[in-house]
Amino acid sequence: MTPEAVYLDYAATTPVDPAVAEVMGRSLAEPDGVGNASSVTHVFGRRAAERIERSRAAIAALIGAAPEEIVFTSGATESNNMAVLGAARANAYRGRHIVSSRIEHKAVLDPLQRLQKEGFAVALLSPDRRGRIDPAAVAAALRPDTVLVSIMLVNNEIGVIQDVATIGALCRARGVLFHSDAAQAAGKIPLDVHAAPLDFASITAHKLYGPKGIGALYVRGEARAHLQPIVFGGGQEGGLRPGTLPTHQIVGFAVACDLAHHSLAAEDARLAGLRERLWRGLATLDGVHANGEGAACVPGILNVSFEGVEGESLVTGLRELAVSTGSACNSASAEPSYVLRALGRDTQLAQSSLRLSFGRFTLPQHIDLAVDAIRREVTRLRALSPAAEPARRAPDGVTGEAGGPGQEAWVRFTLHVREGVVNGALFKAYGCPHTLAVAAWVAERLRGRGRADLAPGTPAEWAQALTVPVEKLGRLLVVEDALADCARHWPEQG
């Protein structure tokens, strides 16, 4: 974490707690860390196995499981794949219908797509506008051939908590297996997998101040016979997940779970206060929407959409903050969040969202800095947008624009013309950082140009000069079209 940036992306991954790092370092350096837990014929292997089993018990205690119900994996993505693919394939003889939701993590949705190619039918339920999956909708979607329901406990983008207790009870009554992606829930809210009731639950260390690369799948004892492995090559973890167990990661995972278990109530109250402080600071801006508002949420996530700003430009301007526009798995894409679209947000509002997530090392002053930075950038981008003021024709000039409200780019030029050439140029623009940069760059180069040679080059040349990615080239055509509109409205006296 660099000192010049405040880290507010805890939902993507949490910093490793110093106590976790310390025990992992000792595990790697001490003689007890030498052995392979599968090598029980000598003392080094037996010591590693003992440490792993003690750790397994600590991890199980966090979620109310028995130690033997914990299967180690590389993380929640693998756990989700194991639960969805493994349970569906193991029970295909009973039926090929699965129920899930449109707001699941890609680590569930992508395996479901794989199963559809294998002949399974998948029903994806839509949330209400607050992000909740109605248990009645789950009940209505169940069929005689339904073998699995997968509904995440806490949504990774908006933090909404689903009613897995009710869903689990109706699945149990119908003899349907129930899985939940609990990666954002474990260590954040009280969780008892037996009371839920769940057959499978996915958790991961790096969401609760542990190391990356280690997670677990809770497998209810009675449900183990209904799960088959998806990876092969050894007999570890009861034959469900082969591979040499990483002792140092597992002991770090256990310490992280133990710390979370003992600080859960106090940390919940503290983070709830920070979330309220953050929302109060942002809510006074006009056109601000808290996504998931009105539903039960974990306290460490606040997802906010801002009218009249482009999300990528907003994040780019927030150089003092480390934040996300959505889930980490999709943060490299300019596409609007599919979770927010499922809630009913329009494309532009979904694309303008920020996911602000915080945790153990977040302080009140970090929240205040975030409020000031976000208010500054939202105000700046709104003032820069053509929506900020109506187009006006200057007495000695011309106005031209392209794009418009609701589109991914909107550019307006106002040119002051004297004796047939541009004497000065102003611009307004809404769009990605590259659109804004090119519009500004072009405006600086319009002085002295006439109607016949108004455009200083082509969009391809602009892209090369400003290192614009090829996938953004289409947006630069809007800049070119705005200049063409200026030429069409060129004053007669010019």
CA distance 323 to 275: 15
Q: How confident is the model at residue 334 (pLDDT cuts 50, 70, 90)?
A: low
How confident is residue 348, by pLDDT bands cut at 50, 70 and 90? confident
Model confidence band, residue 244 (pLDDT cutoffs 50, 70, 90): very high
- List pLDDT tens digits, range 210-225: 999 999 999 999 999 9
In contact, 257 and 208? CB cutoff 8 Å: yes
How far is 32 from 294, CA to CA, in rounded Å? 50
Convert the pLDDT of each residue in 33-48 to its tens digit: 789 888 888 998 999 9
Are 410 and 403 in contact by the 8 Å Cβ rule? The answer is: yes
Q: What is the pLDDT of residues 11-21, one digit of tens each?
A: 999 999 999 99
Q: pLDDT (tens digit, 9 = 90+) per residue, 80-135? A: 999 999 999 999 999 999 999 999 999 999 999 999 999 999 999 999 999 999 99
Q: Which domains does the chain have, with CATH numbers?
A: 18-260 (3.40.640.10), 263-384 (3.90.1150.10), 389-488 (3.90.1010.10)
pTM: 0.92
Q: Which amino acid is at 225?
A: A
Count of positions (residues) in the chain: 494
3-state secondary structure of 217: strand
Tally of CA atoms within 13 A in the half-sphere of 159 that contains its CB: 28
Report, as residue numbers or ranges, the catalytic residues: 329
- Name the nearest CA neighbour of 122 among 94, 97, 88, 145: 97
Is residue 138 over pLDDT 70? Answer: yes
